[in-house]
Chains A and B, each alone.
Chain A
Amino acid sequence: MLTLDVIIETRDLVKKYGRVEALRGLNMEVSKGAFGLIGPNAAGKSTTLKILLGLVRASGGEARVFGLDVRRDSFAIRKRVGALHEKPSFPSWVKGLEYVEYLARLKGVRNPREAAFGELKSFGLGEACDRKIGTYSAGMVQRLGLAQAFVGDPELVFLDEPTANLDPLGRAEFLDMIKERCKSLGVSVVISTHILSELERVCNAVAIIFGGVALEVGSLSDLFEKYSESVYAVESSDDKRLMDGFVNLDSVERVWFEEGALMVKVKDQGRFERDGIGVAHGLGVGIRRFEPVWWSLEHVYKKVLEVKGVGT
């Protein structure tokens, strides 16, 4: 049963391309807001987006967007969503504004030219909108793709590798824009990307997909809570002696060197902070750094794969 906030739901979703199984029973729920799909190449991320858009037919299971079945109600779903496909390609002989205007017409936008120009301008193509798409750089084509995905004020936008071909400044601008649109206009986005730091910056929930199944689905805070490990980075005047001292502590699980620091995985944070400092004082080792390591989404991703026993 869908709750009010859940906009996408998949149940045992299967997709086979001949003998290749792209999806092997994908289960996930996506709530309003910014949602990320993470996974290695051929994990099934793009296939999932295409099934949700009605471009690819599922071999089994079910998928719903806004509570509507993607097979039966694809037309109604596509009225309410926008999409940017991976490596987008647009007709080179048409002007940018003409193309987005045409797509806006397909969507039934009341003032298609105005809406198209507004989106192109917001994605930095205001001055280039009267140029033929064939003259655009790869980054400009990507921006055009983003503009067409957002034209007509969709409630939900699927973005497959949206920051590919954008320069660092363009990426930052785009991510800020996504956050702003989610916040002020209430647009929900589903982003599929390999750049996890971007997802971390924009999304409030993710699904980690591997081999056509969702290994984990949840809010970032829940995933961090579940998979983050208490690891401390310690730098001292004699790391070798300190390492020997830490190994014998009950509160310590494992100790290793990484990037010039002593990394300590602990079982009990409070006890380690107390015992660790005591050991250093007892050994007469001076402490320069003693702090917990902040886990990124990339750490969580690797940890999930490790825990689930799949490839890294």
Chain B
Amino acid sequence: MGLRSLVGWEFRNLVRFPLLELLVVVVAYLSMLSSAGGGSLGLSAQSSWSIYPGAIARNIMFSFVSDVQYLYVPTILSVTVFASIGIAREVEAGFVKVALSYPIKRRDLFLVKFGSCFLTSLAIFGVALVSAMFLKNWTATLYILSFPSTILAVVGLIIYQTFYAASVATAVAIFSRNTAASFIGSIAILYMPVYMAQFARLDIPFIPPGSTELFSFYIKSASVFWRQYNLFTLVEATMVPILIALVLLFVSFFYFTRRYDLS
């Protein structure tokens, strides 16, 4: 009963600003439509549809998959906001102290907080993705739907991106205990490697969003040309961020459940 109440409370808290969710959905939606190549659904190719239907289908798939990387921006936006208001703000304001004065296990509170942050963001992208697919041009969507394995892979890619961002944001929120520091810190940590690498002219393809491009390449090449995946290459492309995410989750979980003083 207690755990169910906790889950309901967390989700209710995170969706109490519908404008925020709407904003993220719109940003995600636009990300899916505004990329190079005339939009993620290959809409610019519509005029030449009848000439090379096979090539168009391939272009549609290419741009659709490529555009997933642009979701990294709204992912970071939503996940860092949710972690900041759901974790850091609650620790800072003393709400967590009140909750933990009741019979709740710290383990449960951590998992519920991380889970709600992760799943709420994922739900938003689900809405954005589906609306981007169907609202703009549903005929092009039919082409995409003819590649169900690619759809699954894109969903997997979004889960992977969100999981990575949620782990970083949760860890920063727990260690910072401050709403503003959590928000700014998470964005900095999630984006810093990319910009630092660009600045130093280094190539670090294993950190999102770079890694999502790599992942997209495998999806595109596998699903469009061969309609099958090479599991090993997918794991290879995503392994480093997933490892980083798991380490951060474990460290923040251990700290929260064993060492976290709520003074």
Which residues from chain A sit less than 8 Å from chain B, CB to CB?
A: 17, 46-47, 50, 53-57, 75-76, 78-79, 81-83, 85, 87-91, 93, 102-103, 105-108, 148
Bound-complex Cα distance A207 to B78 (A):
49
Chain B residues with Cβ below 8 Å from A93 are 16
User: In the complex, which residues of chain A have a beta carbon less than 8 angstroms from the beta carbon of B142?
Assistant: none
Chain B minimum-CB-distance residue to A79? B103
A85 lies within 8 A of B1 (CB): no
- Say how far B3's CB is from chain A's closest CB, in angstroms: 9
Q: Say if the beta carbon of B202 comes within 8 Å of chain A.
A: no
Q: Which residues of A contact B100 (CB under 8 A)?
A: 53-55, 78
Knowing A75-B103, A108-B1, the reply to whether A90 touches B263 (Cβ < 8 A) is: no
Nearest residue (CB) in A for B95 is A91
Known: A105-B1, A106-B6, A106-B103. A55 touches B16 (CB 8 A): no
Contacts of B105 in A (CB 8 A): 75
Flag whether B94 is at the interface (Cβ < 8 A): yes
- Bound-state CA distance A88–B95 (Å) is 9
Smallest Cβ distance from A81 to chain B, in angstroms?
A: 8
On chain B, the number of residues with a Cβ less than 8 Å from chain A's Cβ atoms is 24
**Chain B residue with the shortest CB-CB distance to A15:** B261
Closest to A55 in B: B262
Query: Is B95's CB under 8 angstroms from A108's CB?
Result: no
Cross-interface CB contact of A148 among B13, B97, B98, cutoff 8 Å: B98
Question: Which of B94, B101, B103 has its CB near the most chain A CB atoms (within 10 A)?
Answer: B101
**What is the 8 Å Cβ interface bit string for chain B, positions 95-132, against chain A (1 contact, 0 not)?**
10111111111000000000000000000000000000
Q: Which residues of A are found within 8 Å of B1, using beta-carbon distances?
A: 105, 108
Q: Which residues of A contact B102 (CB under 8 A)?
A: 78, 103, 106-107
Would you list 12 pairs from A and B whose C-beta atoms are within 8 A, ordered by A residue?
A: A17-B261, A55-B262, A89-B93, A89-B98, A90-B98, A91-B13, A106-B2, A106-B103, A106-B104, A107-B2, A107-B102, A148-B98
The verdict on A107 contacting B95 (CB below 8 Å), with A50-B263, A93-B16, A102-B9 known, is no
On whether the beta carbons of A57 and B259 are closer than 8 Å, the reply is yes
Q: In the complex, what residues of A have CB within 8 A of residue B47's CB?
A: none
User: How many A-B residue pairs lie within 8 Å, measured between CB atoms?
Assistant: 73
CA A83 to CA B97, docked complex, whole Å: 10
Are the CB atoms of A90 and B95 closer together than 8 Å?
Answer: yes
Closest Cβ of chain A to B95, distance in Å, is: 6
Contact between A106 and B99, CB atoms less than 8 A apart: yes
CB contact between B101 and one of A47, A78, A105 (< 8 Å): that residue = A78
Given the contacts A17-B263, A78-B101, A107-B102, A88 and B2 also touching, CB distance less than 8 Å: no
Is A57 in contact with B261, judged by CB distance below 8 angstroms? yes
- Is the beta-carbon distance between B5 and A106 smaller than 8 angstroms? yes
- Please give the distance in Å from A73's CB to the nearest CB on chain B: 11
A105-B2, A107-B2, A108-B103 known; A56+B98 contact, CB < 8 A: no
| Contact of A78 with B103 at beta-carbon distance under 8 Å, contacts A55-B97, A89-B95, A108-B2 already known | yes
Q: A93-B16, A107-B103 are in contact. Are A85 and B5 (CB under 8 A)?
A: no
A49 CA to B67 CA, complexed, in Å: 54
> Beyond the given A53-B101, A105-B2, A105-B5, could you list 7 further A-B residue pairs with CB under 8 A, ordered by the A residue number?
A53-B100, A57-B258, A88-B94, A89-B94, A103-B99, A108-B1, A108-B2
Considering the chains assembled together, what is the distance between the CA atoms of A108 and B104 in angstroms?
A: 10
Q: Which of B13, B94, B98, B259 is in CB contact (< 8 Å) with A103? A: B98
Q: How many whole Å from B113's CB to the nearest CB in chain A?
A: 14
By beta carbon, the residue of chain A nearest B13 is A91
CA distance in complex: A46, B263 (Å) = 9
